[in-house]
Each structure stands twice: as structure tokens, then as C-alpha cells.
Amino acid sequence: MSTTHSAPAKGSPLLLVLFAVALAPTFLVGYAVGAGSASVVGGFVAMYSLIAFLGGPLRADLRLAAALSPLLLFAAIVPRLLGEVSRPAAIAVLVVIVFVAALLPLRGPRFVTVGLGLGMVALFAYGMALIGPAGPWQVVVAAVTGVVIAVVLRVLLGLPDPSKATREKIADVLVADVPATAAAFDTWLADGRRRWLGIALGAASRYRLALHAAEAVQRAEQVDDALDALRARARDIAERLRAKRPGAAQPVENSPAVPAFAAEAAAALDAVERAVDQRDTSRVPSADRHHRLRDAVLRPSVRLRSIQVRHAVRTAFGLLLILVITAHLPAGDPLVATALLTTFGILQASWRETLTKARPRVLGLIGGAALTAVSILVVPAAYLPVVALAALVVALWNMMARPALAYTFMVVVTVGFNTSLRHTDPVRTLVEYAALTLVAVLIGVLVGFAVVPGLRPEPLQRRIVAARAKTAAALRAMTGSATSPETLALHRAAAQARAELTPDREQLDDDQLAELDRFRAALRDFSTLAATAALDPDSDPDRLNAALDALDDRAAPAPTDGQAPESVLAGLAEQVRATEAQLLATLPHPGGRS
């Protein structure tokens, strides 16, 4: 039983700053170029577009912005303008957009925020009620202004340190609880394949695997000081890796001698530190076949029965329902956007995740209704905008760490601003807000999962075994032709199987969820690094095959002797098999009722 205690969550000004830097300049520019009251739409287009553009190194994010901007503009302009001519046609277009947004995470973890940004842009631009009249051309100008401002902000944020995100992801491999090696590798590829970062990533991966093995010895022999010193050194090196211009390494005085069982971890840290000190910025060459294989390894194919496709279908269906319901509200109702964004935000790939998203909204609704009622009774109407502005600051500050508290104050924001700016009745606004929020929760938590039951995947136990077996088969096929159509098809099938490793009907406890996270991360990292090793002419094919045999249950894990990347693969194979055995022992048998 773990005895660690997590620190209490703290608020963050990040969303508040993002809100200010995106909305304020867009409002000013929008009004200057004639967008009028539609500038508020442009402001939120800028904010959500910036969310979509952030997350990677500047080079990769700008390529993404160039490809994504036309889609964002379409989502921001077409449904709103089409809604003035034909509401059913606008609803149909919106449903297609949110379906595409829900599918985007299939392209990799980087596209989670891309899908979120696209969906938010479409729904907010469609449902946002304006203070004054705005013509079609003003909506177009506002949306274009918002996307342009988002791109400019992304450039300004990234220019001082274009590769900061790459270094941070590689540094996280050293110190994160669950290192995302494959995501760091993908980011490194997208950022120009700098040699020193590639060396640091490989050495950081070896360190984590060696540390994992050393921790087993530590638990058996109760040896603490040596590994504590290694972890402290890893944190120091990670900070130097994150820094754009790191200072010289600080000499360590009176450090304990490294025991034999931790020697490999210490050697890996030495390699990371050498890479950080030398910083060889030359590029590692990459052939076209590497890119095709990378896409096959990291991006699964789309299958009808996949969890992500089912999530996209459920999201589209849920938004269709709430769009039909809100279509009967008066034109320009200020709470339409709230209902749409609430439904979109609640719907997640699994029922458990959806319930996790819905719970703070319900709690916030209850607390917010009480707080709003008190505000209406105590605060004079003239001061409600001040109260709403203060509530907005509190809500944005706590949105990431304490969402229930944030949603409590968002109720005050919505009712306060709408009462003051639109001269609506505060009690009626609060009742309508509560009703629409509860409808959105009902759609997300119950209706969607009840209506889309036919696409349920195999039991999780079978998906775990299939993911490991398909990954091994795809990597073994690379011994023939790494980029043949058959091999790429096997890799896409394996990537799809790994993407299916999400709890569905299974009710997992915290330990099982943590074990599943470790299994998924280790299997994904094994696939990425094994594919890289197979393409490396200097790699030892016998040791690579030994690691594949270990993964495929044909042999014991190959011994690790510090050679890379084969020693990393052997350690990952051992981790995959150990976590798989633990999961299969604790999950219900797939032949039983589920």
C-alpha cells in the first residue's frame, strides 16, 4: 500500500492569462477592422484556436496551424451563417464538425487539444449571442481576425525558445511518474531531430528502465540513500535540460557510492549529462520510409468498432440532441452556447471519464445556484457586473485544479453578465441555466451510452493480450520489409489495438488504472523504439529478436548490459509482461458476464 500523499491542488493563472492575451487584442483589432459586435466571436475563436496551436515546438505548431486554420475558419463561419438561412442544415454541419473533432485524438496525444479547440470554436461561434446586430461579412472578418491573432500569439510565445516543448517532454522522461517516451520521440522528430536531444532521450529511457530494475532490488534490500541520490540528480539534470542556456553542472559533494545494482542507471544519467553539456545541434538524417513507418506506428487506423470512433459517434449524437433542444429556444438566447459547450465538455471516451467530467459541473451548479441567489438578494443590480468579473477571475484561476469551485463561480458569471448586459430576469436566467446544464449532463452520462451500445469492444482482458500480440507481430514483420504495405498494415492494426486499451464497461480501481497506464505506456514505447532500432543499420538484429521473443512470450527477457537501444527494449519487454500478468490476474475473466 502506498503511503505517499499528493499535495493539495493549487490554482493557476494560465487560463486567466490565456483569456486576457487572446480576447483583448482580438476585440481591439476586430472593432478596428469593422467586425463590430461580432468581435466577441473572434475573441473566443482566437482563444480556442490558440489552445489548438499550443502544445509542441514552434516549428511543428506552425505547420499544424497552417493545416488547421482553414478548418477552424470553416467551423467558425459556416454553421453560424448557415443557421440564419436553415437551422437544420447548420445543425447537420455542426454534428459533422464535432464528429471530426472527436476523431482527431486518433492521430496522437498532440491532437487531443486540437480536437478540443476545433469543437469549441464551432460550438461557441454558432451559439454565441451578440450584444448588437452583425452582418455576415462582420462574422467572417471576426473569425479571420481571431485565427490570425492566434497564429501571431503562437509565434510570439514561441520565438524566445522555439524548442522548449521538446526539451520539456524529454526532461519529463527522466522525472515523470509515467514517462511518455513515445510522445517525446514523436515531438523530437517533429522538431528537426537535433542530435543531442535524441541522445538525451535514448539515455533518459535507459535511466528509467534501469531505475525500475534497481527499485526492485531496493525494495528487497532496503537500500534507500543511493537511489534517492540518483533521483535527485535526475531532477537536477532535467532542469538543466529544460533550460535554454543551462549553467555548468554543480559538483556533488559527499555523494554516496553508487551500488552495483544502480550502476546502469548512473551511467545513463552520465550520458544525458554529456548530451546536455555538448549540445550537438546537427540533425539526425531521416529517410522517407522512417516517416511512413512513424505514421503507422503512432497513428492507428480508424475502425468502426474502435473506442474512439464510438466516442465520436456518441459525441455527434449528444450534440445533435442538445442542438435540437436549444433550437426551440428564442433566437439569440445567451445560454445556448453554455449548453453546447457543457455537453461537448462532458462527453468522454468512457462512462467513467464522462462521469468524472460531469460530477464537478453538477456540484458547481448546486453551489453556484446558491451563491447566485445570495448575490441577487444582497448585491444591487448595478454592481452585478463587478461581481461577475470577480467571479470570472476566480473561475479561470481554479478551472484546472478545482473544477467544481470554478463551475460554481461560472454560474455567477453567466447569470451576472446576462442579467446586466442583456437585461434578463436573473431568476429566470438561473433556472434556464440549471435546466440546460442538467439536460447536458443527462445526455452525456446516460443517453449517449444507452443509445450507442452496439459498438462496444471486446473485454479489456482480451484487448490487453491482443495489443501485446499485434505489436510483437508488426515488429517481427519488419525483419522482411520495413515499409511494405503488409508491414505498415500490421503496424496500423497494432496501433489501433493499443488505442483500444481504455476501460469501457470495466470498473477498475486506482491500482488497476495505474497498472493499465504503465502497460499502455510501456507497450507504446516498446513499439516506437523497436521500430527505430529495426531501421538502424548499427542495431544488433539478434538482440532485437531476443527482445521481441521476450515480448511475444517465446523466451525470458533478454539480459540488459547497457547496450542501446536493445537493452532498453529488453527492459520494456519485461515491464510489458509483468504489468500484463498483473492485470490479467486481477481483471474479471472475459468469459464471464460483463
Alpha helices in 379-509 (DSSP H): 384-398, 403-421, 426-442, 448-451, 460-477, 485-499
Would the pLDDT of 592 be above 80?
Answer: no
Give residue-wise pLDDT tens across range 191-235. Answer: 888 888 888 888 887 787 777 767 666 554 555 566 778 888 888
pLDDT above 80: residue 538: no
The residues with which 194 forms a beta bridge, in sequence order, are 283
The pTM is what?
Answer: 0.76
Contact 248, 213 (CB under 8 A): no
| Selection from 429, 431, 411, 415 nearest residue 342 by Cα | 411
What is the rounded CA–CA span in Å between residue 402 and residue 399? 6
Average pLDDT over residues 34-46: 89
Residue 230 grid cell: 540518483
516: cell is 493499465
Query: What residue ranges do the domains of the chain occupy?
Result: 163-244+263-295, 301-450, 460-558+565-586
**Any bridge partners for residue 283, and if so which?**
194
Q: Are the C-beta atoms of 552 and 472 separated by less than 8 Å?
A: yes
What interhelical angle do 403-421 and 351-378 show, nearest 10?
Answer: 50
| pLDDT more than 90, % of the chain | 20
Cα dist from 375 to 415, 427, 466, 538, 557, whole Å: 10, 11, 56, 70, 65
For CA atoms 569, 187, 341, 406, the dihedral sign is positive
What's the pLDDT at 75? 95
- 272, three cell numbers: 544525458
Considering 34-38, 99-103, 327-331, 546-550, the range whose residues carry the highest mean pLDDT is 99-103
Q: What is the pLDDT of residue 195?
A: 85
Say how many C-beta atoms besides its own lie within 10 A of residue 453's C-beta.
Answer: 9
